[in-house]
Amino acid sequence: MKIFVVYPSARTGWEVLREGDSETLHFQQKDAAVSYGRCLADANRPSALRIETPHGRVEAAWTFEAAGFVRAVRAQQP
């Protein structure tokens, strides 16, 4: 299963990373990074997408299973 992670950049903005890759994709806005991450995860099923806070905690996560099923795994309230 491929795992994609959206997390705050050390500079500014947000990064999208596929676990195991060394290159990230940079976005200025969190919404854009999450939307792109969801598209990547959807296109690479079976996969998972995890959104992390600046402290590395999981804010939200989804699994993208076969045949169009998407399941929220975890979502924390701010």
**Is this structure's pTM higher than 0.95?**
no
**How high is the pLDDT of residue 72?**
74
Indicate whether 26 belongs to any domain: yes
User: Which letter, b or e, does each residue of 1-18 get, where b requires 16 or more Cβ atoms within 10 Å of its Cβ?
Assistant: ebbbbbbbeeeeebbbbb
Domain residues for the domain of 27 are 1-48
pLDDT one-digit tens code per residue, 12-61: 999 999 999 999 999 999 999 999 999 999 999 999 999 999 999 999 99
Q: How many domains does the chain have?
A: 1
Indicate whether 63 belongs to any domain: no
- What's the full length of the chain, in residues? 78
**How high is the pLDDT of residue 16?**
98
